[in-house]
Chain A
């Protein structure tokens, strides 16, 4: 079965600082990978998805970016964080969309 790892688990960053969140997957090859964000008091929103190495699609305009340097690695980045980037970031895998444990990001 698939296992999804995310790190860090929690992160507190100042406005304007860079960001790098990592997601890795075990137990499958060439999976579809997804980044979702859950803002406080709001539902989950798809940010990016990837169907293969180097293939990234964005669902919403924002100052975040994603990359997939390896088959089972998905990275979420920002050059300069905004207050509105605070939230709970979840990586998901495959058609069934199992989710990782998430990263809780607070931007101050």
Chain B
């Protein structure tokens, strides 16, 4: 069965610190997608990144970077020089594009990040 584990329930850092959010997934499929979303206090889910299982290149977007390692089934997310506006709940998700649900997302339980000034 597919599963996403975000072991860190809550993380608190001081502004300008780097922080890494961990995500470990389980799937028997060879073709799948991994996602990260940000949920600020207002509630909407903001898409951050989608990565397919055949692309293990690390991705960098401004202060955000993602490390995908199939060998350890991990897709970790790092925020460099964190800011107060980064405070949110972050969700990692896994999809099966060839499954019966046509792309059903399996979400982790989320990691609540608090960045203090």
**Contacts A43-B110, A90-B45, A95-B97 known; A59 to B104 CB distance under 8 Å?**
yes
Q: Mark A36-49, 1 if CB is under 8 A from B, else 0.
A: 10000011111001
Interface string of B100-112 (1 = CB under 8 A from A): 1111110111100
Range, interface on chain B? 20 to 34
Query: Is B90 at the interface (CB under 8 A from chain A)?
Result: no
Q: A43-B109, A43-B110, A44-B91 are in contact. Are A97 and B103 (CB under 8 A)?
A: yes
Is B43 part of the contact surface with A, judged by Cβ < 8 Å? yes
Taking the closest CB of chain B, its distance from the CB of A25, in whole angstroms, is: 15
Q: How many residues of A contact B (CB 8 A)?
A: 24
Distance between Cα atoms of A99 and B110 in the complex (Å): 16
Provide the residues of chain B in CB contact with A88, threshold 8 Å: 43
- Complex interface: chain A residues within 8 A of B103 (CB): 32, 34, 49, 95, 97
Instruction: Let me know if B50 is at the binding interface, CB within 8 A.
Output: yes
How long is the Cα–Cα vector from A18 to B81 in the complex, in angstroms? 48
Contact indicator B104/A98 (Cβ below 8 Å): no
The 0/1 profile, CB within 8 Å of A marked 1, for residues 77-114 of chain B is 00000000000000101010100111111011110000
* A101 & B43 in contact (Cβ 8 Å cutoff): yes
Asked if A59 and B101 make an inter-chain contact with CB atoms under 8 angstroms apart, the answer reads yes
In the bound complex, what is the Cα–Cα distance between A44 and B6 (angstroms)? 13
16 extra interface residue pairs, beta carbon distance < 8 Å, beyond A34-B103, A102-B43 = A32-B102, A42-B109, A43-B107, A44-B45, A44-B105, A45-B107, A46-B101, A92-B105, A95-B103, A96-B47, A97-B35, A97-B95, A97-B105, A100-B44, A102-B44, A104-B43
